[in-house]
Amino acid sequence: MTPELGYAVTVAALVLAVYGAGAGALSAAKGRPDLRASSERAAIGVWLLLTACMLLLVYAFLTFDFSVRYVANNTNRGTPFYYRITALWGALEGSIILWGWMLSLYTLIVVGRYRRTQPQLYPWALAVMLGISSFFLLVMTIPAPPFERLSPIPADGRGLNPLLEDSGMITHPVALYLGFTGFTVPFAFAMAALIIGRTGDEWITITRRWTIIAWYFLSLGLLIGGWWSYHVLGWGGYWAWDPVENAAFMPWLTATAFLHSVMIQERRRMLKLWNLTLIILTFSLTLFGTFLTRSGIIGSVHAFTQGSIGIFFLVFLALVMLGAFSLLAWRIERLRGRSELDSIFSRESAFLLNNLFLIAAAFTVFFGTVFPLLSEAVKGQKVSVGAPFFNLVNIPIFLALIFLMGVGPLIAWRRASAENLRRNFLLPVAIGVVGAALCRVLGVGNLLVLLCMGLVVFVAATIALDFWRAARARRRTGDGWLEATWGLALRQNRRYGGFVVHLGILVIALGVAGSQAWSTQTEATINRGASVELAGYTIRFDDLQPVEESNHFKVVGTFTVSDRRGPYTVLTPAKKFYPQEQTPIAAVDYRLGFMEDLYLVLGDFARDGSHATVKVQINRMISWLWIGGLILTLGAALAIVPEPRRTAARPRPDHVVVA
């Protein structure tokens, strides 16, 4: 019964979405408010029906309804109930439901937020969003139906991919998809602006806000993905330049470029054409990422499955890109403004360079990702492009971006005077040089790491200098330090949110540099009771225990670790054997630290427990990635907070003592 009901609901949602998109477009073109209201009701209906779809599928998972093929493929009777809920997005079909549902939610928010305030742009934006929803519902109806019936009904299901049985998998896809789908809103408003030919300020304000929101979620998704990779996959890394990771990283790069170049448009009315291009590219790249992960045209550890779904995505991607760029070309005369730079030494030029580097990074990532295809098409050879290529090309680009991060926010608009440069940069450059020299004295030998450290210190100094000056200015008006700081952060939340994001990136950069340069590892086969030593740690192999879990069998090793001061901890890495998997899965055990993590992976072992192979990694400064990520997301959140109205000055409380 569930399969048929689910399918009926999906088809109903598809019909409603197509109708809503058509009615929305017609109402926008002819200015008919009755159709517009009808289109809004359709948007609400689509959301309700998709919510029903999700609930129905969750219900099927919770009740082990193996007549639904998707349930049988992604769960079995041993799967714990919380993973039965998250199995909803554990594979292709369910992830499309989640995608569609989030899109319908964003559509509802757009309806609620802009129905009255944006009478011109809003109807077209609504039509575009419902059109995109229609596509995802079409995918749910034809190439990837989540409610497909399975017959005969098996006694038990296949089970969830064991690697997905992790808390990271509960949150990572949600954040990532909120980011991906979030970019639909700026895209829809960009299309609306192009269609009606109003490419002025309203478009920019709405688009900027929604791009930050989507960017926030995408960043969060990437970070949780890195954390999942680090503590589940057991290779001690957090980023592998895998095609699917790249697919999520590319829209992040172009969205970051947009968030910077949009400031030039707000301030100087330049780069309209460029900003629209970036929005179209960002949205297209989210589709490209979905296409890549679901078409199977490029091999990847994350890839879902193959089938006709790839064709659907490619056709839609072609429609979106050709349609959007044709619209852009059609409006080209309105978009070409005056675009001369006043001087090389100006904020405009710093931001342009920033855009150039971000786009270069996006392009190299794209090129590396599709190169295997290109090579096969042109030379007929299967090749794979790995981390060495991406690192080689991207490290210089990212170092340059960090440098610009210090320059951009402080250099003057239009034309920076020698005085402006001296005032803002002399001290930070000096501090950066001293910082790098200090690192050298402390024993950092790697030139790239030294450069990175110097740049990070330089940028941190520019931020500190700016903040100190601004806070001092506020203090002159009588605020205390704390109040001055808070006041600044809230009053100029975009500027200081941006600074906080920059600080987060700096911390992440240190984490990347440190972990690449100073991590160390060893692998040893040791007898029970014997030890292996690495970097001051002594790891003793004590015991091996078999444990039967609800859906798998595991062998748990016990290792007692002591450091130079004495006993430190007991780690219990394991090897899990799932009946449906060919190879056992390593369950890592670790102790996270501020400067270094101890990370143990259990390898082969003797069945009688007499000896075992263990991989010991000392991963340095990995925690900085997570701390930096936290700072970054806080900064993005600060930038999203609506700016307070600047009219009424808040009366200062009397009890604040002026120090």
Sites of contact with another protein (CB under 8 A): 66, 69, 72-73, 76, 150, 152, 154-159, 288, 291, 295-299, 306, 310-311, 314, 317-318, 321-322, 325-326, 328-330, 332-333, 336, 370, 372-374, 376-377, 382, 579-582
As measured in angstroms, the least distance from the Cβ of 78 to another protein is 11
Cβ proximity to another protein: between 317 and 637 the closer is 317
As measured in angstroms, the least distance from the Cβ of 554 to another protein is 15
Cβ proximity to another protein: between 17 and 335 the closer is 335
Contact 20, 12 (CB under 8 A): no
Cβ proximity to another protein: between 477 and 582 the closer is 582
As measured in angstroms, the least distance from the Cβ of 447 to another protein is 37
As measured in angstroms, the least distance from the Cβ of 374 to another protein is 6
Cβ proximity to another protein: between 550 and 582 the closer is 582
As measured in angstroms, the least distance from the Cβ of 584 to another protein is 11
Helices in 477-539 by DSSP H: which ranges? 481-491, 493-518
Cβ proximity to another protein: between 370 and 510 the closer is 370
- Is omega for the bond preceding 154 within 30 degrees of 0, making it cis? no
Judged by DSSP in three states, 305 sits in coil
304 CA to centre of own chain: 19
Count CA atoms within 13 Å of residue 579 on its CB side. 14
Tokens of 15: 């019909």
Would you give the DSSP letter of residue 297?
S
What is the identity of the amino acid at 481? W
As measured in angstroms, the least distance from the Cβ of 298 to another protein is 6
What is the rounded CA–CA span in Å between residue 284 and residue 280?
6
**Which DSSP string do the residues of 320-389 spell out, in sequence order?**
HHHHHHHHHHHTHHHH------S-SSSHHHHHHHHHHHHHHHHHHHHHHHHHHHHHHHHH-------HHH
Angle (CA) 176-174-237 rounded to 5° is: 55
Cβ proximity to another protein: between 10 and 75 the closer is 75
What is the rounded CA–CA span in Å between residue 388 and residue 37?
55
Cβ proximity to another protein: between 370 and 431 the closer is 370
| Phi and psi, residue 591, nearest 5° | -120, 120
Cβ proximity to another protein: between 147 and 210 the closer is 147
As measured in angstroms, the least distance from the Cβ of 365 to another protein is 14
Cβ proximity to another protein: between 151 and 647 the closer is 151
CB atoms within 10 A of CB 476: 8
As measured in angstroms, the least distance from the Cβ of 384 to another protein is 9
Contact 25, 36 (CB under 8 A): no
Contact 48, 71 (CB under 8 A): no
Residue of 267, 252, 235, 274 whose CA lies nearest to 182: 252
What are the start-end ranges of the E strands in 184-298? none
Cβ proximity to another protein: between 291 and 351 the closer is 291
Question: Terminal CA-to-CA distance of the chain, rounded, Å?
Answer: 73
As measured in angstroms, the least distance from the Cβ of 329 to another protein is 4
As measured in angstroms, the least distance from the Cβ of 132 to another protein is 18
What is the rounded CA–CA span in Å between residue 194 and residue 331?
7
